Amino acid sequence: MTDLKKSIHGEWSSRFAFILAATGSAVGLGNIWKFPYITGENGGGAFVLVYLLCVLLIGIPIMIAETMLGRRSRLNPINTMIVLTEEAEADKNWHYLGWRGVIAGFFILSYYSVVAGWASAYVLKAFTGSFFGADPTAIKSLFDSFVASPVQLIFWHSVFMAATMWIVSRGVNSGLEQAVRFLMPSLFILMMLLVAYAMTTDSYERGVSFMFALDFSKLTANGVLTAMGHAFFTLSLGMGAIMIYGSYLPKNVSISQTVFLIAGTDTAVALLAGIAIFPIVFESGLEPAAGPGLIFQTLPVAFGNMTGGWFFGVLFFVLLVFAALSSSISLIEPAVAWMVENKDMSRKEASIWSCLVTWLLGFGTIFSFNIWSDFKIFDRTIFQLLDYLTANLMLPIGGFCIAVFAGWIMKQHHTEHELAMPNAFSYQVWQFLICYVSPAAVFLVFLHVVGVL
Ligand code: PHE
């Protein structure tokens, strides 16, 4: 493979542009919506610790591997796996890895978009002053009556999917780079502000100790799986999003340093979200285990009562929608790039088709919150099933295969050359993690869940 190979979809203008885009993909609803509610459901501190360990020992090495695979081939994940399998003279079954990722992307976006639709609706609610002076009970019933309405959810899901389609059809590296450049820092500052507000409440200490005090008796086997799955979900790993962004990365950029920066930012945003939200949860007398509605039932209480709350409320939900958008486009980009490369479609046609499929799939999640809330498969609503299937199974399995492929199947001189780490020691550490630690950790968690361990 020559170093001159370039992606036909274009290239990031710089290392910084890649950092922005990959951070845009990583930081999203996963950090601000999902992390707090799963932490709440799984008892707090011990769960957070397992999640942090998973990011460090599994997430970061696999993120380096996934970026490397994309950059080496400069193609969409499906073709990446075809080309690299050939280069490594490996078994053709490795091709399925690319396909599995694209399918996972569709499934995830189908529910991601519904929740991003909630956030969009909350921009309007914040704007019209619905939170003003409201007490926790009023805020909770506002949320409950909102999700009980399929028509409203369909409307906002459609708005969000249309926006995704519009951006993806224009190509990821034009508007996106510009948008993420000021959105990410703004989101960060706003999260700090919310933490500052949380500090003024009487429940600040209780909230923080919920997040960090270790009580392993509260952690179940499924909680460990959820923590690991979330490490993949939050870093956008295991389905090709980071791989496709890696394929647009210029050759001379150091992958490992870049990945540390992205994973660090992502983790910081999640922790800030937790520190901001749990004090408000306790202050409002809410349950940490309230489920997917947690941030929508807590943050409006804060906005409704703080000075400048109208402004910060609108700003927060606007930023949340943008953070979700910069993630959603990375969920669909592998499919779109594949259609453009292999099916001879224009970007526009490819975006329309893939977004249409996702939009339709999203109805399953919408109805899980209202008319089909009693319809359960394996004791889960469609939303819960999709979430479990993708975050807890498909992404870790994808990540496991990426680790094995990068560590055991690819030729060592290829990975060494592609990563071009600053010194031999760093490369050896990565190699040890990717060959042994990351795959073994994923495997052990699975064994633990099925009860073998
Ligand atoms: N990382 C995103 C988030 O935390 C979600 C995502 C998952 C994006 C997988 C791309 C791929 O919100």
Contact between 265 and 23 under an 8 Å Cβ cutoff? The reply is yes
pLDDT for 175: 60
pLDDT for 1: 44
- For residue 24, report the distance from its CA to the centre of ligand 1, in Å: 9
Whether residue 3 is predicted with pLDDT greater than 70 in this model: the reply is no
Ligand 1 atom closest to the CA of 33, numbered from 1? 12
- For residue 305, report the distance from its CA to the centre of ligand 1, in Å: 31
Of the candidates 277, 323, 321, which has an alpha carbon nearest to the alpha carbon of residue 301? Answer: 277
What pTM was estimated for this model as a whole? 0.94
Whether residue 174 is predicted with pLDDT greater than 90 in this model: the reply is no
- C-alpha torsion angle, residues 192, 197, 200, 205 (rounded to 10): -60
Hey, is 410 helix, strand or coil? coil
- Hey, what are 453's tokens? 């361990």
Query: Candidates 236, 259, 395: which one to mutate for ligand 1, based on the most atoms within 8 Å of Cβ?
Result: 236
Contact between 160 and 310 under an 8 Å Cβ cutoff? The reply is no
Dist. CA 387–CA 288, nearest whole Å? 19
- Hey, what are 272's tokens? 């800030």
- For residue 114, report the distance from its CA to the centre of ligand 1, in Å: 14
Q: What is the mean pLDDT of residues 47-51?
A: 97
- For residue 30, report the distance from its CA to the centre of ligand 1, in Å: 6
Neighbours of 397 (CB within 10 A): 17
Whether residue 141 is predicted with pLDDT greater than 80 in this model: the reply is yes
End-to-end CA, the chain: 43
DSSP summary character for residue 423: S
pLDDT for 4: 45
Dist. CA 416–CA 374, nearest whole Å? 52
Q: pLDDT tens, 383-439?
A: 999 999 999 999 999 999 999 999 999 999 999 999 999 899 999 999 999 999 999
pLDDT for 284: 87
Of the candidates 239, 427, 222, 406, which has an alpha carbon nearest to the alpha carbon of residue 328? Answer: 239
* The one-letter amino acid at 30: G
Dist. CA 95–CA 83, nearest whole Å? 9
- H or E stretch at 197: helix 175-200
Q: What is the mean pLDDT of residues 111-121?
A: 98
Q: Which range has the worst mean pLDDT, 148-152, 166-170, 289-293?
A: 166-170
Q: Which residues of 372-393 are buried (b: 16+ CB within 10 A; e: fewer)?
A: beeeeeeeebbbbbbbbbbbbe
Q: Which residue has the higher pLDDT, 175 or 82?
A: 82
Q: What share of the chain is helix, strand, coil (3-state, %, to 5)?
A: 80, 0, 20
Q: What is the mean pLDDT of residues 354-374?
A: 97
- For residue 138, report the distance from its CA to the centre of ligand 1, in Å: 31
pLDDT for 270: 96
Query: What's the mean pLDDT when you consider all of the chain?
Result: 92
* pLDDT band of 2, cuts 50, 70, 90: very low
Contact between 110 and 361 under an 8 Å Cβ cutoff? The reply is yes
Longest dimension (CA), the chain: 65
- For residue 233, report the distance from its CA to the centre of ligand 1, in Å: 5
* Residue 28 Cβ contacting ligand 1 at under 6 Å: yes
Whether residue 171 is predicted with pLDDT greater than 60 in this model: the reply is yes
Query: Candidates 23, 25, 183, 187: which one to mutate for ligand 1, based on the most atoms within 8 Å of Cβ?
Result: 25
Q: What is the mean pLDDT of residues 268-276?
A: 96
Q: pLDDT tens, 9-36?
A: 777 777 888 888 899 999 999 999 999 9
Dist. CA 55–CA 170, nearest whole Å? 32
* Residue 240 Cβ contacting ligand 1 at under 6 Å: no
* Residue 332 Cβ contacting ligand 1 at under 6 Å: no
Work out the percent of the chain whose per-residue pLDDT is above 90. Answer: 76
Whether residue 342 is predicted with pLDDT greater than 60 in this model: the reply is yes
Query: Candidates 102, 183, 234: which one to mutate for ligand 1, based on the most atoms within 8 Å of Cβ?
Result: 234
Counting every residue written for the chain, the total comes to 453
Q: Which range has the worst mean pLDDT, 31-40, 182-191, 212-221, 433-442?
A: 182-191
- Hey, what are 420's tokens? 């071009």
pLDDT for 205: 96
* Residue 239 Cβ contacting ligand 1 at under 6 Å: yes
Q: Which residue has the higher pLDDT, 344 or 262?
A: 262
Q: By alpha-carbon position, which residue is closest to atom 9 of ligand 1?
A: 236
